Chain A
Amino acid sequence: MDILKFITAGSVDDGKSTLIGRLLYDSDSILADQLEALHSSNRKNDDGSIDLAILTDGLKAEREQGITIDVAYKYFQTDKRKFIIADTPGHIQYTRNMVTGASNANLAIILVDARKGVIEQTIRHSYLVSLLGIQQVVVCINKMDMVEYSEAIYETIVNDYKALAYKVGLKNIKYIPVSALKGDNIVHASSNMKWYEGKSLLPFLESVELEVDDSRAHARFPVQWVVRPQTEELHDYRGYAGRVSSGSFKVNDKVTVLPSGFHSTIEKIEVLDAEPAEAFAGMSVTIHLKDEIDISRGDVLVNTEYLPEVSQLIEADLCWMDTRALDPSLTYFIQHNSKVTRCKIREILYKVNINTLEKEFNEDFKLNDIGRIIIKTAEPLAFDLYQNNKANGGAIIIDSRTNVTVGALMLRAVAE
């Protein structure tokens, strides 16, 4: 059994909370005491049924102030798969939250209201899903019950969306007509839409294949920690502890340490007492090399035949996440896997209006702004282009005054 992580993109009125509630409720993922709280609540739908949106309700602070706080994580499982939902509420700070939730998602559900079709926010959500490189998209055309389960309306929306998908560069799209409120095509096939022959949402989520980057070309191992017991019996023990971020490594592979450029060969791979012959993407292991070279946290081991980019001047997409605007005169920190160094934003090339996808050319870069910039780092970064290898192509910007994470970077090219 594996894990599928997904986000749901939609605003308050799209029925997003109802959709998540419905998935949990119909898949029997709600426990008795939660169900009791649900039934005892005096919030009901118009027809008197339980308001499933309560299941994704927030904190006291949120209720009191009528706001929602970024990302909430929900967990459920069926006998086929485990699921982690990053529920990002729709409101002012939506972009920041959706980018956060999307960074770790394998799949995105984009909700479209059947009465409204493809609208501005659909463009926004689809752009962000594309920007963050989520490989699989499910477009749920929701509220089909309110358009008399019309196949013609569904087809029109699917065609409109295809045009949008092409424009923002999304592939692998599954379309499903649903009613989260009534439960049509969520867990069970709808008897109201016999014309739809595809899978319902949950069966689709259970069976969709996940892409895993295990190509040798992307073998990357950021070193987090050096294990050196320095005891009498383990005097010469020196293991590099980390997690394979992408690709795979085998014993006897030739590796290069970056940014220093030293070469060596993998002698042994360890996980406590086990010695696997191969370590692939996602595994936390300890690697031993045949040569004694100076390696510390922040270095990355890569397959010598497939080197990543190494540069101090990088072109990247930036999403700004702080209420204080970007200040190009300031020195920030950049964190890329286990590496932290200083950086400056050299140039803002353009910003993207995520509602129209048009480029804008003004100099300020504020909360929720997205655009293309050139960044200069104090030390070289060994990175892959985000579009080729997400795991080694993302980075964050940290404000050196507040220590807060203020920006997300998708590294796109070596800048000239």
Chain B
Amino acid sequence: MLKEYFIRRALYLIPVLIFISFMSFSLIYIAPGDPAEIMMTSPSGGYDEAAVEAFRIAHGLDQPFYIQYLNWLKGAVVGDFGYSYMSEQPVFETVLNAFRNTLTLSVLSLAIALVIAIPLGVVSALKHNTVVDDACRFVALFGVSIPNFWQAYLMIIIFSVILHWLPASGFGHGTDISYMILPATVLGTGSAAVMMRMIRSSMLDVMGKEYIQTARGKGLSEKIVIIRHALKNALVPVITVVGLSIGFLLNGSVVVETIFGWSGIGNLVVDSILSHDYMMVQGSVLFVAVIFLLINFFVDLVYVWANPEIRYDRTS
């Protein structure tokens, strides 16, 4: 049954979840020095002995390591990541809000990436081993090699400073799409390149299959052969790349959100690091890891569902 497969896959997540929670928790211990001191150290460098001691007792930092971990985990499971040292807001809520903004931007980036990648990948495969193909492949290579922070500034210079088409940075209440276009394009570039490569090789593979020849033999036009018989099958493995692209987008969000002043999770993490808000860093990192893991889990399920052969194979 499909359900049983889902459950099996879900159970498999448990050890990884335990591992990543443990890693996130122990981050504070890899820091040279005492966690309480680090936590209570103000950005300017000084700290107050008494405050450190009070903090230590208040947060159970005088307890053994594993007890601390279990206490922390108990909270984390129900969404209690503690409070920000800076703003005194609950970490979980702040992270969740920031992530929502990152998600908005990511969805747009993914759409931009697909719009670029599908036609380029298909054309590249159909014009296999021609100048067109070489050009498409080089553009893709270019796309993964361009530093996103550099690309961001180039685009700001061109589209905001020179052409005045789009705002250089800002949040626009999270709904004004003109603020999203530049960051989403910068974010989407890398993913587009990876997807394009994937679509190209997948399409090449499919176009060489015998059933494509069968479809032509039925008198179908080349357009229908490509769209109905080839593209559909070629896009199935691309689903797996979407999971990967989410990773790409999350990574990119760190720099891109900082540059464009977008109030997402990447921006939050960088700000928190610069202001030594460690609870916030820890919470954000764990949150992002769990979300990323779940997205990949979900993508895997969609892949199984989209691929009838695997679907029946794994479920029977």
Bound pair (A, B): no
Interface residues in chain A, defined as those with a beta carbon under 8 Å from any beta carbon in chain B: none
Interface residues in chain B, defined as those with a beta carbon under 8 Å from any beta carbon in chain A: none
